[in-house]
Amino acid sequence: METPGIVELPRHLDDRGRMIWVDLEDPTDEEVGVLGGIFGFHILAAEDCIHGNHLPKVDVYDETLFLMLHAVDTEILQERFETVEVGIFIGDHYLVTHHKKHVKGIFDSRGQVAKTPGSLLRSPDWLLHSILDSMVDNYMPAVEDLEGRMEDLEIVLLNTPGQGDIQKALHLHQEAFHLERVGRLQQEILRQMSTGKLPWFSEENRVYFRDIYDHLVRVTQSGERLKDRVSGALSVYQALAANRTDRAVRVLAVCGVTLMPLLWLAGIHFGTLLWFNDPRIFYSVLGAMVVAGGLTLGIFKKKGWF
């Protein structure tokens, strides 16, 4: 394991008998310059690394294979699910990784190389297998965290959720969608690696990439299930909210219709009618109001409005 200066890189690259791994983590402008300078990578691939904001993809150039993959951002996993873009360049005897933030999978692979460099630095594709294996393994804790948050949210949504809980559900849906989308795109890339459709992947190592592919399939399916669960929970909440609104409207309608004839009778100026001075007439009108209100409530009760 060495940490050579930039000026020493050409000498190491000229040694075709050595396997070289250059990891650029949060690189300076000078360090980023080695992509298009010393290595001579295609300007489009270098720009993808520099500017970022790309979905997983693969591009094949004359002497280089460029991969843009996503790793779990473990530093903020307790708050939300996000990913870190990792640009990977593969050549015949080198591997270059570029990422603007810490990536646990790459950090773990660096530790393994430090312990047993001969076991991982056999070839670029074998080293890449170790990196991708660690990166994909880190998706499972993210899935478990999302599932735990989903279970808590389902309980809240089925009771009396607040506006903040609805926002949490919408954010969780976005995170699950991002997990599924990134998983599906990377799943296709792993499939190409394991079936020999990409250069620089030896036949003897393809079976190991198929194993990573299987793990990624489970991650993608988990993301899809989570997205459906959030959508289902929101649909149930909307149905419950609509039902509560319907009940409130029915209560208001019952009150309004019940009081309408009473208000009509009360609004008549019976004092101008001479015969209304008879107490029997007064109590008869009161009785009619009670009967009208009772009949109205009885009809609504029979129809199951309350």
What's residue 191's pLDDT? Answer: 94
Residue 32 has pLDDT above 60, yes or no: yes
Q: Answer yes or no: do 219 and 253 share one domain.
A: no
Query: Which pLDDT does position 220 carry in this prediction?
Result: 93
Same domain as 113, residue 35 = yes
Tens-place pLDDT, residues 177-223: 999 999 999 999 999 999 988 888 888 999 999 999 999 999 999 99
Q: Please check whether residue 18 is in contact with residue 93, taking contact to mean a CB–CB distance below 8 angstroms.
A: yes
- Please compute the mean of the pLDDT values over residues 237-249 and round it to a whole number: 67
How many angstroms separate the CA atoms of 94 and 19, rounded?
6
**CA separation for the pair 150, 168 (Å, rounded):** 10
Q: Quick check: is 1 in a domain?
A: no
Q: Token digits for 77?
A: 């996993």
Identify whether residues 223 and 260 lie together within a single domain. no
Rounded distance, CA 222 to CA 266, Å? 65
Query: Of all helices (H) and strands (E), which one includes residue 244?
Result: helix 203-267
Q: Which residues are registered as beta bridge partners of 72?
A: 83
Structural domain boundaries, residue 268:
249-302
Instruction: Say yes or no: 231 and 109 in one domain.
Output: yes
Of the pLDDT bands very low, low, confident and very high (cuts 50, 70, 90), residue 8 is: confident
Tell me: the pLDDT tens digits for 158-178?
777 777 778 888 888 899 999
Question: What's 207's domain CATH number?
Answer: 3.30.460.20
Q: Decide if pLDDT at 263 tops 70.
A: no
Phi, psi of 79, deg, nearest 5: -95, -45
Q: Which of 28, 58, 75 is nearest to 128 (CA)?
A: 58
Number of structural domains found in the chain = 2
Q: Which of 110-119, 154-163, 239-248 has the lowest mean pLDDT?
A: 239-248
pLDDT classification of 279: cutoffs 50, 70, 90: low
Residue 255 falls within a domain, yes or no?
A: yes
Same domain, 185 and 293: no
Based on the fold, state whether residues 210 and 262 are members of the same structural domain.
no
Asked whether the CA dihedral 93, 65, 24, 136 is positive or negative, the reply is negative
176 and 233 housed in the same domain: yes
Ramachandran category for residue 299: left, alpha or beta (phi over 0 → left; psi -120 to 50 → alpha): alpha
Q: Mean pLDDT, to the nearest integer, of 97-104?
A: 94
Do residues 138 and 61 share a domain? yes
The mean predicted confidence, pLDDT, of the chain is 84
Selected residue with higher pLDDT from 19 and 236? 19
On whether residue 107 sits in a domain, the answer given is yes
Q: Establish if 69 belongs to a structural domain.
A: yes
Indicate whether 163 and 210 sit together in one domain: yes
- 230 and 254 share one domain: no
CB 69 within 8 A of CB 56: yes
57 against 245, higher pLDDT = 57
What tens digit of pLDDT does each residue of 142-154 get?
Answer: 999 999 988 888 8
More confidently predicted of 279 and 70: 70
173, 196: one domain: yes
